[in-house]
Amino acid sequence: MPSTSSSINRFMTKILIIGANGQLGQSFQYWAPYFPHFKFFFKDLPEFNLLNQDQLEQFFNSTSINIAINCAAYTAVDKAEDEPQKAQQLNLQAIDTLCELSKTFGFKLIHYSTDYVFDGTADTPYSEEHPLSPIGVYGNTKAEGETVMQTSGIDGWIIRTSWLFSPYGKNFVKTIFSLLQNKEEINVVADQTGSPTYALDLAASTLNALDQNLATKGVEVYHYTNSGQTTWYGFADKIKQLTHTNCGVNPIDSSAYPTKARRPKYSVLSCDKIKKEFNLNPQSWESALEDCLKKIK
């Protein structure tokens, strides 16, 4: 939810949302009316193509932006193994371009990254300082994008998140919700552990954090998820409980559901830093899921 504290900003902050039609971009659109002191610009393909530098420069030349929030990414984890160049274009080259534009036009960049920058071999939550050890093309391109931004000399935030879900676009919750209505039973992987993140909560928390601090120097890295952890099976079973369906949900090992790209076995992120610095208190993933399902229905 938006912060109830009065804004510290003394001017109309102009915020560009890149990838406005994705699930995180649509979540920012949902909250925009609650932050009237921010002037939002929502952009997506085809009129805002991160791979078209001339088009981007034309926009920034004509519109003075204070903050660019990049919600766009190549996120098809398995497909990335077959399309490494496409993943690299969006997850690395586009970030390099945005960093150069940030230096030229003086806006702060907020960029979202992923739990896939870690290999999943830990057994306690990953902190922001944990060494990167990505697996697969997707994780590697996201890690490379982080490095480019951290060494660019610009001001901004990298916010790593995981298991994103919302009422918008394609995601695990919407897929399982649909399967539960149409199948007698489904099998769901039970040996991968992480923290689901409600895109609406991530968007609201980002805006609340910006409300408190627009003056960050250098690039800060944060983690944000909803509180608690579960497996994909536990996640699916909770959807079943909340929707009161009769479909059976069976736990299986990931070895029984082979995928082209490896998944981290354990990718829980420690969110202590962002909670402490911005006084955020993310709701549990279960209560977030309940809210999401009400909006889906």
Catalytic positions are 138
| Number of helical (H) and strand (E) elements in the chain, helices listed first | 11, 12
Q: With contact defined as beta carbons under 8 Å apart, do 74 and 80 qualify?
A: yes
161: three-class secondary structure by DSSP: strand
In one-letter notation, the amino acid at residue 275 is K
Query: Which residues, 6 or more positions from 263, have their beta carbon under 8 angstroms from its beta carbon?
Result: 77, 120, 192, 254
Residue 258: partners with Cβ closer than 8 Å, 6 or more residues away = none
DSSP state of 214: S
Residues, the chain, total? 297
**Cβ contacts of residue 91 below 8 Å, gap of 6+?**
73, 74, 138, 141, 142, 144, 145
How far is the C-alpha of 220 from the C-alpha of 109, rounded, in Å? 11
